[in-house]
């Protein structure tokens, strides 16, 4: 399994991870009650299991390709719609999980944020795999390769409405996730499926 380091909960006040304003859906409401420690710890516990289960789904070839540990941190920002975000930091990659994202989506969203109907188990796994897709994309510098090889200078349909709206990097992360969780769905998108199949079935050992 890939190496995961849980770095715990970070407080709102130090959150600068939403440097892109379009990730924030509304101004902060000062009157919202803050969840207590017990609530936070119980939710972190569930997410930790989801992170480990999702990481365990990665085939050995993919595990071999990643040579740096993935840091996982938790935070709460109720003004922001994303539940997960992947970032490069401290020479490696980190996944931040928002325990309580905004119930209001962004303007461009034509769907409800996942949190609205409660996260199902498969949605949690999907979220973690999507963010792990970004980690691979960052650490192995795969985005340009994916665009040139999978898209091959053609306009291709993106794999999900989210990817369609947000572009190639999101299409990479969605395709990465779908290859693991729902390969039959991904087969409907041959350029992305073929690229991911090649990626996941070639050895990471050189
Ligand atoms: Zn993403």
Q: How many angstroms separate the alpha carbon of residue 37 from the centre of ligand 1? A: 28
Q: How many angstroms separate the alpha carbon of residue 131 from the centre of ligand 1? A: 6
CA of 116: how far to CAs of 50, 104, 197, in Å?
Answer: 19, 8, 33
Q: How many angstroms separate the alpha carbon of residue 35 from the centre of ligand 1? A: 26
Q: How many angstroms separate the alpha carbon of residue 187 from the centre of ligand 1? A: 20
Question: How far apart (Å, rounded) are the C-alpha atoms in residues 130 and 14?
Answer: 24
What's the whole-model pTM score? Answer: 0.92
Q: What are phi and psi of 106, to 5 degrees?
A: -75, 165
Question: How far apart (Å, rounded) are the C-alpha atoms in residues 55 and 72?
Answer: 12
Q: How many angstroms separate the alpha carbon of residue 97 from the centre of ligand 1? A: 12
Query: Which domains are assigned to the chain?
Result: 4-201 (3.40.390)
Q: What are phi and psi of 124, to 5 degrees?
A: -65, -50
User: CA-based diameter of the chain, in Å?
Assistant: 55
Residues of the chain where predicted confidence (pLDDT) is lower than 70: 12-29, 205-206
Q: How many angstroms separate the alpha carbon of residue 16 from the centre of ligand 1? A: 17
Question: How far apart (Å, rounded) are the C-alpha atoms in residues 182 and 189?
Answer: 12
Q: How many angstroms separate the alpha carbon of residue 143 from the centre of ligand 1? A: 12
Q: How many angstroms separate the alpha carbon of residue 85 from the centre of ligand 1? A: 7
Question: How far apart (Å, rounded) are the C-alpha atoms in residues 140 and 107?
Answer: 32
Q: How many angstroms separate the alpha carbon of residue 138 from the centre of ligand 1? A: 12
Question: How far apart (Å, rounded) are the C-alpha atoms in residues 83 and 106?
Answer: 13
CB 203 within 8 A of CB 61: yes
Q: How many angstroms separate the alpha carbon of residue 120 from the centre of ligand 1? A: 18
CB 23 within 8 A of CB 82: yes
| 158-191 pLDDT per residue, tens | 999 999 999 999 999 999 999 999 999 999 999 9
- pLDDT at position 119 is 84
Give the pair of three-digit tokens for residue 123: 């949605």
| Number of other residues whose CB lies within 10 A of the CB of residue 28 | 13
């Amino acid at each position: 399994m890939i190496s995961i380091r849980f770095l715990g909960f970070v407080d709102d006040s130090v959150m600068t991870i939403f440097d892109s304003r379009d990730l924030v859906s509304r101004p902060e409401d000062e009157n919202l009650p803050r969840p207590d420690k017990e609530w936070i710890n119980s939710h972190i516990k569930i997410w930790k299991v989801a992170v480990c289960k999702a990481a365990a789904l990665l085939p050995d070839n993919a595990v071999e390709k990643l040579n740096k540990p993935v840091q996982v941190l938790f935070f709460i920002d109720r003004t922001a719609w994303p539940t997960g975000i992947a970032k490069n930091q401290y020479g490696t990659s980190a996944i931040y999980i928002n325990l309580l994202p905004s119930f209001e989506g962004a303007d461009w969203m034509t769907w409800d944020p996942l949190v609205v109907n409660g996260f199902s188990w498969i949605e949690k796994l999907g979220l973690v795999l999507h963010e792990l897709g970004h980690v691979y994309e960052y650490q192995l510098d795969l985005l340009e390769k994916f665009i040139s090889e999978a898209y091959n200078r053609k306009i291709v349909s993106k794999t999900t409405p989210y990817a369609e709206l947000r572009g190639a990097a999101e299409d990479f992360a969605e395709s990465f996730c779908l290859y693991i969780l729902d390969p039959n769905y991904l087969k409907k998108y041959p350029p992305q499926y073929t690229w991911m199949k090649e990626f996941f079935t070639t050895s990471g050992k050189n």
